[in-house]
A and B are shown apart, each in its own frame.
Chain A
Amino acid sequence: MSSSPLTDLSAVQQSVETARGLLNAHYTDPAVFAEEREALWFPTWAGIGVAADVPEPGDAKPVDFVGVPLFILHGRDGQIRVFQNICRHRGMILVTEPRKIEGAIRCPYHSWCYSHQGKLVATPHVGGPGQNAHAAINRDELGLIEVRSHIWMGVIFVNLSGDAPAFADQHADLIARWAEFDAPLHHGGADSTFQLLCHTNWKLAVENYCESYHLPWVHPGLNSYSRLEDHYNIEEPGKFSGQGTLVYRQIKGDDGTTFPDFPDLSEKWDSGGEYLTVAPNVMLGVQRDHVFAIVLEPRGPTETLEHVHLLYASDQTSDALRAKNAAQWKEVFVEDIGVVEGMQAARGAPGFDGGRFSPVMDGPTLIFHQWVAGRLAEYRARA
């Protein structure tokens, strides 16, 4: 039982037949949002972007990670690293917009400079005018603060606390499940990414993504070929959850063109597709000919920016077909905005008990609620 005054989590940790969802405060209260940063975002592996955000050596991109300023750098050595976006001198922001950094990362305030590996390499005038060293300033101790990162399925994940199990261990079951997609992924480029701003808490986007229950109601266009009974639940409590389809249908161009398949896929994927969330915030979908990743960027308790990316098995794909695919997915994801914003608006209803779950259809969503509640409970127990 939680000792926190914030919310009671016990009703979430019941069986699907009797469980209730997270209470309103989890969707509206800045204090709970702040608690989530510590309990859900910092100690786990959370997504901050895709490798394609920094495609070339020297490319840098700042990101706001639930209020923590970070930047991604594709170093000249070919490595993609994530650093805290702060100079070790007076704490100035280093990178304010996506840009190319050919040489050192120069702080715009007093021009302390860092290498692409994060090493402090220059401290101009630190010992007085024209004196660029001082015994009290040990450059070896003042490098940029690197944040632990890992790239999987083209997504850059970070573990801010630095003490989570290795990504490959933490998500071993999921990686094994989708091992057939462990192949080079090619981001489709500018025509294969878009953002959707949703006036909703980030968790509602995940909850909606977890289940297929809503598909015939919210996405009626799917009914003609992808019926509710063609879907199955994916339920791995404490690990991941989502849903799969048995009737994935490849998109075709006007001339019948399709995207090339990923190599050596098993028969399952001829018409299969799976859609899972890497908690807290990366929603992934895999199909025979493309993958998508949605990285959720919370901008407070009631606003979320969805960054959608489409990745392919080849870097040689049809421009027109990529555009058609992006438009098709955008239509689907835009259809979801109404319900995630509607659920957010409804969280203003006093005394809402968190709602109930269909024992058959909502298991994956409850698993996500329980992941949230379990981590919050652990955090509160330590606090």
Chain B
Amino acid sequence: MSGDLDARLLAAHAAGDSAALVRLYSDAADAAASEDAAGFFLTHAYIFALELGAAEARQIRARLVRMGRDTG
């Protein structure tokens, strides 16, 4: 993860900005160097989307299921 993304994630955590966390963790997953790292970041994106009641939670979960990281 880039230093800039890491800083923005920390700022979003500090602000309790769940929408930003969904977006930033999704970005982190997309930029991850390995599938394990992508799964980790995508999991966080999913949880914050779920908490927010955001529509993208469904798509993120489907992606996790396709990756074998959650049940269908």
Residues of A whose CB lies within 8 Å of any CB of B are 76, 101-104, 106, 111, 113, 121-122, 124-125, 129-133
Contacts and interface: CB of A to CB of B under 8 A. Distances in A.
B71 interface: yes
Nearest to A110: B47
B39 A122 contact: no
Contacts of B46: 122, 124, 132
Given A106-B47, A113-B47, A130 B40 contact: yes
A132 B50 contact: no
7 contacts: A103-B49, A113-B51, A129-B40, A130-B36, A130-B40, A132-B64, A133-B71
B23 interface: no
A103 B42 CA distance: 18
Nearest to B67: A130
A101 B50 CA distance: 11
Nearest to A113: B50
Contacts of B26: none
Nearest to B70: A132
Give the dominant DSSP class at B's interface. Answer: helix
Contacts of B51: 101-104, 106, 113
Nearest to B32: A130
Interface residues of B, number: 21
Contacts of A132: 43, 46, 64, 69-70
Given A103-B57, A124-B44, A125-B43, A130 B50 contact: no
A124 B53 contact: no
B11 interface: no
B45 to A, nearest CB: 11
Nearest to B51: A106
Contacts of B52: 102-103
B10 to A, nearest CB: 17
A104 B22 CA distance: 14
A283 B20 CA distance: 47
Contacts of A106: 47, 50-51
Given A111-B47, A122-B47, A132-B43, A104 B53 contact: yes
B14 to A, nearest CB: 15
Given A125-B43, A131-B69, A103 B54 contact: yes
Interface in B11-25: none
Contacts of A124: 43-44, 46-47
B39 A103 contact: no
Contact of B36 (A103, A111, A129): A129
Nearest to B71: A133
Interface centre among A103, A104, A129, A130 (most CB of B within 10 A): A130
A103 B18 CA distance: 11
A95 to B, nearest CB: 13
